[in-house]
Amino acid sequence: MANVELKNLTKKYGDVVAVQNMDLSIPHNEFLVLVGPSGCGKSTTLRMIAGLEEITSGEIYIGDQLVNEKDPKDRNVSMVFQNYALYPHMTVKENLGFSLRIAKVDKKEIEQRVKEAVQILGLDELQKRKPSQLSGGQRQRVAMGRAIVRNPKVFLFDEPLSNLDAKLRGQVRIEIKKLQRSMNVTSVFVTHDQVEAMTLGDRLAVINNGIIEQIGTPIEVYETPKTLFVAEFIGTPKMNFINGKIKNQKFVAGKTEVSSNHLPDNDKAILGFRPEDLIVDNNGKFLLNVEIIEKLGADSLIYGTDQNQNLLCLRVNGNTKINVNEKINLSVSEDKYHFFDATNNIRLN
Ligand code: ADP
């Protein structure tokens, strides 16, 4: 059992503030994903939890124990890295048992724990191979096995899927999810890939410039982004945005007007709506001049500009009859509008 608590955690590299006053409470057994663009401070946060990076200020608790001063080996965490970090001259089996041999764990106990990891990860037939004789996905599985044998209280994953091709990434993603479910271990997973974040996380912490902008379940974050950054970062293709004003409960952008019930007047507002929330509707307020159609099979993405020259994207079904250069009217159901204040980027509705 181990919850992880970060309290007012800050990391500075000289003038660069990599992580700023971060508060995060991860309950036991949760799979939490730290997600954000490159350089936002995800890895630094993870490395501070692991004890690989000194903290500038704040506190880290693992299982209610303050670990600020503890060595990495005494924190009961196992880290899985992007580059696998396997020893090339050792077999899979030797790689799996290595950290336990260093920790002088009893030989029989090592055998037993390696056997368990081999079973969990389906590595039976690969035990005698060296890393160079494994595929990328298999190497990643061995790297996870090395983390498992240590019976950690917390798994820390640092972009472990980045070196895999897209198909394998999908497969290993499912394996990681199953593994975490079966092992009941608190996990913190770092990624810049929002699809990975949405599919793996019980909750996501979306980070921007060293600050958590939102913490929530994937659906909460997707359906109710609290900031413009989160709205833009989560979702592919990204949310459509239109700049305008809110006056007398109406959002006005050029010739377009939509109702913005219960919102105060605002001279610099942004209206957002997702591509799948646009509906082809003869009475719709958005007139789209279709410029590009991407047919992806299951669905199609239609890109164009509206009457105010805003770029918009619409998601429709795969066998759409819409053509390039067509003009179509679109509407959005009112409960799918996202309004933001363009001055501080905070959600208004
Ligand atoms: P992410 O994992 O989100 O890509 P990092 O945590 O690696 O981001 O980095 C956060 C910020 O801290 C970046 O601006 C990065 O350049 C800076 N940084 C990371 N490590 C160092 C270091 N050792 N020295 C100076 N700056 C660093």
Euclidean distance between CA atoms 65 and 54, whole angstroms = 17
Whether 312 has a pLDDT exceeding 90, the answer reads: yes
Whether 236 has a pLDDT exceeding 80, the answer reads: yes
76-90, 299-313, 331-345, range with the lowest pLDDT: 76-90
Stretch 158-175: mean pLDDT: 85
Give the residue, out of 12, 43, 82, 158, with the most ligand 1 atoms within 8 A of its beta carbon, to mutate for a pocket test. 43
Task: Specify whether the CB–CB gap between 309 and 301 falls below 8 A.
Answer: no
Task: Specify whether the CB–CB gap between 81 and 143 falls below 8 A.
Answer: yes
346 DSSP assignment: B
Going by alpha carbons, the residue nearest to atom 10 of ligand 1 is: 41
Distance 124 CA to ligand 1 centre (A): 38
**C-alpha neighbours within 13 Å on the C-beta side of residue 349:** 24
Distance 43 CA to ligand 1 centre (A): 8
Euclidean distance between CA atoms 177 and 163, whole angstroms = 18
Q: What angle do CA 313, 315, 321 make, to 5 degrees?
A: 105
Residue 166: pLDDT band (50, 70, 90) is confident
Going by alpha carbons, the residue nearest to atom 1 of ligand 1 is: 39
Stretch 19-44: mean pLDDT: 97
Q: How confident is the model at residue 56, as a pLDDT? A: 98
Residue 182: pLDDT band (50, 70, 90) is confident
Stretch 302-317: mean pLDDT: 96
Neighbours of 29 (CB within 10 A): 16
Whether 118 has a pLDDT exceeding 80, the answer reads: yes
Task: Specify whether the CB–CB gap between 214 and 225 falls below 8 A.
Answer: yes
